[in-house]
């Protein structure tokens, strides 16, 4: 099987053979954390005397570096770890794993490059990519003390928050459905708990997060705007370890350790909220006795090193929000559970020291259900997205000039729209909407090619095929399609090209062009990630969204990379964009796609970034000036209007200050232009009620948004048991109590007897200043 797979992709390899054949020997292996044996993603390994001869570890920690035979000082660098150098006599192919230990630079917090990684932003060909190690994210101020990777992403230029306190985000003018969010390669369709105020990612179980907002490599597909690739920790291969925390609304615990030392490991992690559990005694005997709400997450991962060439990873996530509403007096109740499940099984295999393969089998779903009723009447609504995904990826490292990736990914989608049913005694009825099925397949190949010390290119192409599968009946001609029978099929070539020209050691120019297709769609006008969000596939009635992004950037570092700066410009052209028609009504009797209108979009802007990487004070300033517009023929005759994602100005200032060994101060300030909304233009009377007539779509703005958060982390020195380490975090969200509007509503009070009507509009602020305190701990078996 493996041999066949190898030959299956031989033609791709031959394509590059003319350029890449040469007399080289290869150093390959894994780079790991010395403390726990976990592989390190994106660690740089290079010839210490010529940094251009280098590569970085892939998503599984594997590297392959081909050099001419000789003696080299091999250098390895990774964010937050001590530099590693070793002289290696490289006369023949050599497999070598390296281990890095965490170093003092870890204390230089925030999303900082360690000293050894200086100029990585300048040297990398990739544009708009940011890696976020969890250790850095955990030190920023957090709402109610809940560390949240998605909210940290919102502090980066080009990434805008979708709403107050929420984890939803817009990238470079793209909608929330245009972000591909992956957890161990499984798509997470709904990233929010509690209406999006918290993300589903439990920080303790996460190893690494990568955001790609421009120049998306060809290995990623299916979304127009960005990739957020979240990887769970593998589990400690060496020691048993436990960490957790207690916060105002939730507690969490993660346990990990070796199953067989250095060969296999496990990780289990859980989080649950309990605020309403604590309130249960107060609800007893009241109108809403038994009503409760909570959410929880459960992560688990197992890793087995079968041989030097084979590894298996099994990981999964299960999370739910649960609302149980009870009104015993009226026998009225409903249950509303919703959440994601992911399961990933991966096999890493080394065909040779230059050819790495990963095979993944992935299942993921998002399910929503509402079941409610009164006495004999029961009403139920269900919606879901389920994927079964198989993928094969190859990493081929022929020489230091080329790093080639190619593979195929096929996904079977089952999307159940809002299917409603009701039962009243013996009578039952259903909306009759059938699940929609589809197959999405993508082939890709990409090459990171260093043409010269100054010029490098990352070129690739993705070919995608999407078919609407039966059973379904065509709404156009009534043709019936049987199970797995392909109906409407879309294909797309998606070329990706980015290039870097190195002006000097600390300055480069980069440019990228990215074509993308998107076959699954979510239309929402809300600023939150809602459990009721419905994903719909491309069908004979809904064409794929298409996008092309042009980006250009200047990257320059100062003072030995202590200061890092960049300016990036982008322009996006978006076709087949989807929105709700003006008369959209959330109606269970009508398929949601019947409420869609189709149009085009454009987004353009400039992002400015300044970061300080070293010293007691670290942090960054990101500023984006941008426009995002949409035009739909069926909305006001195609008038271009600002999208709800439009933010003319978006500013983030993030700082960390190490007061001493025990105390650390974190701060963040955000400012953004007010969100666009469709205002009421006038009022009129019908049947004695006052109704609003709306003005043009998105023709008014809420007041500008700004907020300042502060946190103080106290980590006392362990006096006796150094294996145990605890820290206290005091956070203030919105410290100057800015009343940012969450939404606007109007209220009409009619006095029919006197004949007066009072009209008022209000802005609702949901988060004033919110202090919180949390305690976190970490126990490590052998950390003496």
> 83 to 142, contacts with another protein by CB under 8 A?
none
Which of 15, 240, 334, 779: binder of another protein (CB under 8 A)? 334
Residues 233-292 contacting another protein, CB under 8 A: 275-276, 287
Q: Which stretch binds another protein (CB under 8 A): 114-122, 376-384, 439-447, 603-611?
A: 376-384
Q: Which residues pair with 554 in a beta bridge?
A: 509, 567
Helix (H) or strand (E) holding 438: strand 436-450
Q: Which is nearer to another protein, 638 or 716 (CB)?
A: 638
Residues 600-619 contacting another protein, CB under 8 A: none
Which of 106, 465, 748, 783: binder of another protein (CB under 8 A)? 748
Q: Which is nearer to another protein, 210 or 526 (CB)?
A: 526
What is the three-class DSSP state of 352? coil
* Nearest alpha-carbon partner for 512 in 561, 456, 463: 456
DSSP assignment letter at 48: T
- Contact call for residues 613 and 118 (beta carbons, < 8 A): yes
- Residue 640 — φ and ψ, nearest 5°? -75, 125
598 binds another protein (CB under 8 A): no
Which of 766, 777, 779, 781: binder of another protein (CB under 8 A)? 766
Q: Which is nearer to another protein, 659 or 691 (CB)?
A: 691
Q: How far is the CB of 327 from another protein (least distance, A)?
A: 8
Q: Which is nearer to another protein, 17 or 759 (CB)?
A: 759
689 binds another protein (CB under 8 A): yes
What is the three-class DSSP state of 433? coil
Q: From CA 427, how far away is CA 500, in angstroms rounded?
A: 67
527 binds another protein (CB under 8 A): yes
Contacts of 44 (CB under 8 A, 6+ apart): 54, 55, 56, 76, 77, 78, 117, 120
Q: How far is the CB of 666 from another protein (least distance, A)?
A: 22
- Contact call for residues 395 and 366 (beta carbons, < 8 A): no
Q: How far is the CB of 150 from another protein (least distance, A)?
A: 17
Q: From CA 111, how far away is CA 343, in angstroms rounded?
A: 29
Which of 589, 615, 633, 716: binder of another protein (CB under 8 A)? 589
756 binds another protein (CB under 8 A): yes
b/e sequence 58-84, b meaning 16+ C-beta within 10 Å = bbbbbbbbbbeeeebebbbbbbbbbbb
- Contact call for residues 494 and 464 (beta carbons, < 8 A): yes
Residues 629-688 contacting another protein, CB under 8 A: 678-688
329 binds another protein (CB under 8 A): yes
Q: Which stretch binds another protein (CB under 8 A): 182-190, 312-320, 409-417, 737-745?
A: 737-745
Binding mask 439-468 for another protein (x = CB under 8 A): ------------------------------
Q: From CA 256, how far away is CA 377, in angstroms rounded?
A: 47
Q: How far is the CB of 164 from another protein (least distance, A)?
A: 9
Q: Which is nearer to another protein, 599 or 741 (CB)?
A: 741
Within 10 A of 323 (CB to CB), how many other CB atoms are there? Answer: 18
Which of 73, 101, 758, 782: binder of another protein (CB under 8 A)? 758
Which of 12, 563, 623, 743: binder of another protein (CB under 8 A)? 743
Q: From CA 126, how far away is CA 344, in angstroms rounded?
A: 27
Q: Which is nearer to another protein, 18 or 686 (CB)?
A: 686
Q: From CA 109, how far away is CA 139, in angstroms rounded?
A: 7
Which of 691, 724, 736, 782: binder of another protein (CB under 8 A)? 691
Q: Which stretch binds another protein (CB under 8 A): 89-97, 377-385, 623-631, 722-730?
A: 377-385
DSSP assignment letter at 720: S
* Nearest alpha-carbon partner for 100 in 110, 85, 113, 114: 85
Q: Which stretch binds another protein (CB under 8 A): 83-91, 206-214, 404-412, 755-763?
A: 755-763
Q: Which is nearer to another protein, 293 or 779 (CB)?
A: 293
Which of 88, 268, 345, 750: binder of another protein (CB under 8 A)? 750
**What stretches of 154-267 show up as alpha helix (H) in DSSP?**
none
* CA–CA distances in Å: residue 511 to residues 296, 403, 454, 531, 610: 42, 19, 14, 38, 19
Q: How far is the CB of 702 from another protein (least distance, A)?
A: 9
Which of 633, 745, 771, 782: binder of another protein (CB under 8 A)? 745
331 binds another protein (CB under 8 A): yes
* CA–CA distances in Å: residue 369 to residues 65, 375, 421: 51, 19, 11
Q: Which structure tokens are listed for 410?
A: 């096929």
Q: In angstroms, what is the C-alpha Rg of the chain? A: 27
Residue that the structure tokens 């705007």 belong to: 225
Q: From CA 684, how far away is CA 296, in angstroms rounded?
A: 46
Q: Which is nearer to another protein, 564 or 579 (CB)?
A: 579
321 binds another protein (CB under 8 A): yes
Q: How far is the CB of 532 from another protein (least distance, A)?
A: 5
Longest dimension (CA), the chain: 98
Residues 395-434 contacting another protein, CB under 8 A: 420, 422, 424-425, 427, 429-431
Q: Which is nearer to another protein, 321 or 401 (CB)?
A: 321
Which of 54, 61, 141, 163: binder of another protein (CB under 8 A)? 163
Which of 347, 584, 608, 657: binder of another protein (CB under 8 A)? 584
Which of 10, 374, 454, 491: binder of another protein (CB under 8 A)? 374
* Nearest alpha-carbon partner for 165 in 738, 775, 776, 665: 738
582 binds another protein (CB under 8 A): yes
Q: Which is nearer to another protein, 140 or 534 (CB)?
A: 534
Which of 197, 201, 313, 472: binder of another protein (CB under 8 A)? 197
Binding mask 692-711 for another protein (x = CB under 8 A): xxxx---xx-----------
Q: Which structure tokens are listed for 257?
A: 């350790």
Pairing of β 206-212 and β 226-232:
antiparallel
b/e sequence 483-507, b meaning 16+ C-beta within 10 Å = eeeebbebebebebbbbbebeeebb
Q: How far is the CB of 436 from another protein (least distance, A)?
A: 19
Q: How far is the CB of 467 from another protein (least distance, A)?
A: 30
């Amino acid at each position: 099987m493996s041999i066949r797979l190898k030959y299956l992709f031989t033609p791709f390899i031959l394509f590059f053979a003319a350029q890449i054949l040469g007399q080289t020997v290869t150093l390959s292996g894994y780079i790991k954390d010395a403390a726990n044996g976990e592989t390190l993603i994106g660690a740089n390994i290079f010839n210490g005397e010529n940094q251009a001869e280098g590569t970085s570890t892939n998503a599984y920690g594997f590297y392959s570096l081909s050099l001419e035979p000789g003696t080299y000082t091999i250098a390895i660098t990774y964010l937050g770890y001590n530099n590693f150098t070793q002289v290696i006599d490289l006369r023949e192919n050599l497999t070598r794993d390296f281990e890095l230990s965490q170093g003092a630079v870890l204390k230089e917090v925030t999303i900082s490059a360690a000293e050894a990684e200086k100029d990585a932003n300048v040297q990398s060909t990739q544009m708009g990519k940011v890696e976020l190690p969890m250790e850095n994210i955990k030190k920023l101020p957090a709402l109610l003390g809940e560390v949240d990777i998605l909210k940290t992403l919102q502090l980066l230029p080009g990434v805008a928050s979708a709403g107050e306190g929420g984890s939803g985000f817009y990238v470079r003018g793209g909608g929330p459905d245009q972000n591909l969010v992956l957890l161990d390669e499984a798509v997470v369709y709904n990233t929010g708990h509690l209406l999006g105020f918290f993300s589903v990612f439990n920080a303790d179980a996460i190893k690494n997060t990568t955001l790609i907002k421009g120049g998306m490599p060809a290995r990623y597909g299916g979304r127009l705007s960005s990739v957020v690739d979240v990887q769970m920790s593998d589990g400690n291969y060496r020691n048993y370890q436990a960490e957790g925390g207690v916060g105002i609304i939730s507690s969490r615990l993660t346990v990990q350790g070796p199953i067989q030392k250095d060969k296999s490991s496990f990780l289990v992690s859980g989080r649950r909220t309990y605020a309403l559990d604590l309130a249960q005694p107060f609800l007893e005997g009241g109108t809403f006795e038994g009503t409760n709400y909570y959410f929880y997450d459960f992560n688990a991962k197992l890793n087995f090193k079968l041989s030097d060439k084979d590894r298996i990873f099994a990981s999964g996530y299960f999370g739910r929000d649960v609302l149980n509403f009870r009104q015993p007096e009226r026998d009225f109740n409903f249950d509303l559970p919703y959440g994601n499940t992911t399961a990933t099984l991966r096999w890493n295999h080394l065909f040779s020291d230059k050819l790495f393969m990963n095979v993944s089998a992935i299942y993921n779903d998002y399910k929503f259900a509402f079941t409610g009723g009164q006495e004999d009447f029961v009403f139920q609504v269900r919606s879901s997205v389920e994927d079964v995904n198989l993928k094969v990826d190859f990493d081929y490292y022929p020489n230091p000039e080329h790093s080639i990736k190619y593979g195929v990914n096929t996904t079977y989608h089952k999307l159940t729209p809002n299917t409603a049913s009701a039962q009243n005694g013996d009578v039952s009825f259903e909306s009759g909407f059938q699940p929609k099925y589809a197959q999405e397949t993508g082939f890709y190949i990409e090459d990171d090619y260093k043409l010269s010390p100054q010029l490098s290119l990352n070129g690739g192409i993705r070919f995608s095929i999407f078919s609407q599968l039966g059973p379904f009946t065509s709404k156009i001609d009534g043709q019936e399609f049987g199970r797995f029978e392909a109906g409407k099929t879309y294909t797309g070539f998606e070329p990706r090209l980015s290039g870097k020209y190195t002006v000097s050691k600390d300055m480069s120019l980069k440019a990228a062009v990215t074509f993308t297709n998107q076959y699954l769609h979510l239309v929402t006008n809300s600023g939150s990630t809602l459990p009721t969000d419905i994903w719909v596939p491309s069908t004979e009635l809904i064409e794929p969204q298409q996008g092309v992004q042009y980006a250009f950037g200047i990257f320059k570092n100062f003072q030995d990379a202590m200061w890092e700066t960049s300016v990036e410009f982008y322009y996006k052209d978006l076709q087949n964009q989807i929105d709700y028609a003006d008369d959209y009504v959330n109606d269970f009797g009508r398929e949601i796609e019947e409420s869609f209108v189709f149009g085009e979009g454009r987004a353009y802007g400039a992002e400015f970034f300044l970061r300080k990487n070293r010293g007691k004070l670290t942090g960054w300033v990101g500023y984006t000036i941008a426009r995002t517009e949409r035009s739909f023929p069926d909305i006001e005759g195609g008038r271009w209007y600002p999208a709800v994602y439009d933010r003319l100005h978006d500013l983030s200032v993030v700082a960390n200050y190490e007061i001493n060994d025990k105390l650390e101060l974190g701060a963040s300030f955000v400012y953004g232009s007010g969100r666009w909304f469709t205002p009421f233009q006038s009022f009129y009377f019908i049947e004695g009620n006052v109704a609003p007539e709306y003005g043009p779509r998105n023709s008014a703005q809420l007041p500008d948004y700004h907020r300042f958060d502060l946190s103080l982390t106290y980590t006392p020195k362990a006096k006796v048991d150094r294996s145990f380490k605890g820290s206290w975090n005091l956070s203030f969200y919105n410290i100057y109590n800015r009343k940012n509007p969450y939404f606007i509503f109007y209220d009409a009070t009619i006095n029919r007897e006197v004949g007066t009507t009072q009209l008022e509009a209000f802005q609702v602020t949901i988060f004033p200043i919110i202090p919180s305190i949390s305690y976190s701990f970490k126990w490590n078996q052998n950390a003496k």
